[in-house]
Amino acid sequence: MRTFALVALVSSFFVFFAFSIRLVWQEEAQMEEHLKSFKGVAEQFYKLSPKSSLALSEHVTVYYGEADFTDQLQRITPIPVDSVNRLRYEFRISDDQFLHAGIVAYHFAFEYQGKLIQTYITISSFNMDLWDDSWDGLMLISTLLMIFLIVVLRFTLKRVVDQIMSPITELSSQLRNHQSEQFYIPPHSVDELAQLTAHLNSYSTMKDRLAKQELMFAKYASHELKTPIAIILSAAELQAMKPQDSDFQAKQRERILIAVKGMRNTVEALLNIVKQENASTERSFTPIDASSIDLEKYQAMLADGVTLSLDVAPNTQVNMPLTLVEMVLKNYIENAIRFTPSGEIAVTISSDTISVSDTGCGITSKSKTEHGLGLIIVERIGKSYGWTSTLNNRTDQTAKHVQSGCVALFVRENPTA
């Protein structure tokens, strides 16, 4: 605001200065035209009654020759014919000598009875110029006008700037203090700020979602690694209890090997996800057949009477490593086993779809969270390789709208890529 006031004051001064100079020049031009307008009248009066001087009006006097020149006129520099000259104001020198007004004289000549009459038309600039009091009044009015304009413009500009900056200040305060999950601005803010707020809210939501996903991913990875480590530790401790029992020792070694292989696959899968997220869009395809998928390890987890089947389409190729396919299946199948007390679990694999359907209780409000906890890693794999994971209830084909388990689908988003 101070800068604006200073710029406005300087600009007003230059405008006033230019206006004043223009006013003085215009005034002198008008005065010259006024004097020249008396040329014909002065010539006619002289021809009617020749005199050495004549008062044409209260302020205009004409001199025919220089005989009756006043002291002021005598001090004027010789004036060429058909031109105007001026004696400026005389300033007061002492208490006895006061300031005298200036005088303007127009010199022309005309012929009368064979003689060339040198004529001077004069006017006192006291009554024609803007005198000291007039200039003081003009300066005062101009100054007051400038101050008024500066105050009004400053107030107006401050309101406009406040309206623009208030939402920005509010957003800055919200960012600094983290007052709420969603950013907001006052109504009727400019469109650009509304768009900025919408983008900030979008980024904030995305940031929170990614943070939650990262937390779930870390928890899942931690759980997947802790379980085999615990198995290895317990098997190693049990081996020390029966060193002479070869069957017992073999069983514990088998447990250790299975746990190590599971942990290796988990680490390899996690590394593949990270590698793919940081790599280019190039994909390598892995052929899949029935022999590639081992479902035997899930047989012991099945409830009594539940069957687990596998159907792999011919010439199936997927754009991800086999370890990731196994991890997707592991999460889908273990979820299906957990919520299928009877019936069947069917696994179907093709180049563009991985499906695990069951005849269990389906997704309920209580089981929804339990389903979701194991599927965060599947969503992460899908995001890295261009697949989409969904988990929905299905209905019995023979009895419509009757819930009959759920189906987990892992579908490739762009099959032609």
pLDDT in tens, the chain (417 residues): 566 667 767 777 777 777 777 777 777 788 788 888 899 999 999 999 888 899 888 888 999 988 888 877 887 788 889 888 877 655 555 566 545 567 888 999 999 988 999 999 988 766 555 444 455 666 677 777 777 777 777 787 777 777 777 777 777 777 777 656 677 777 777 677 778 878 888 887 788 777 776 776 677 677 777 888 888 999 888 888 888 888 888 988 988 998 888 788 778 777 776 666 555 455 678 999 999 998 988 888 898 889 999 999 999 999 988 888 988 998 899 889 988 988 999 999 999 999 999 988 877 655 444 444 457 778 888 888 889 999 888 766 544 444 578 899 999 988 765
CB atoms within 10 A of CB 75: 11
The token duo for 152 is 């009004």
Which residues, 6+ apart, have CB-to-CB distance to 346 below 8 Å? 309, 311, 355, 356, 357, 358
Where do the domains of the chain lie?
Answer: 2-139, 212-277, 286-412
* Of 139, 108, 151, 137, the residue nearest 4 (C-alpha): 151
Give the end-to-end CA distance of the chain in Å, rounded to a whole number.
60
- Residues paired with 60 in a beta bridge: 123
3-state secondary structure at position 400: coil
3-state SS of the chain: helix, strand, coil percent to 5? Answer: 55, 20, 30
- Residues paired with 119 in a beta bridge: 64, 108
Which spans in 49-109 are helix H?
Answer: 71-74
pLDDT of residue 4: 65
pLDDT of residue 368: 47
Angle between helices 191-241 and 368-385 (to 10 degrees): 110
286-412: CATH, from 3.40.50.1100, 1.50.10.10, 3.30.565.10, 3.50.50.60: 3.30.565.10
Cα distances (angstroms) measured from residue 356 to each of 10, 325, 338, 367: 80, 12, 13, 17
Amino acid at 343: G
Report how far residue 123's alpha carbon sits from residue 127's, in angstroms, rounded to the nearest whole number: 9
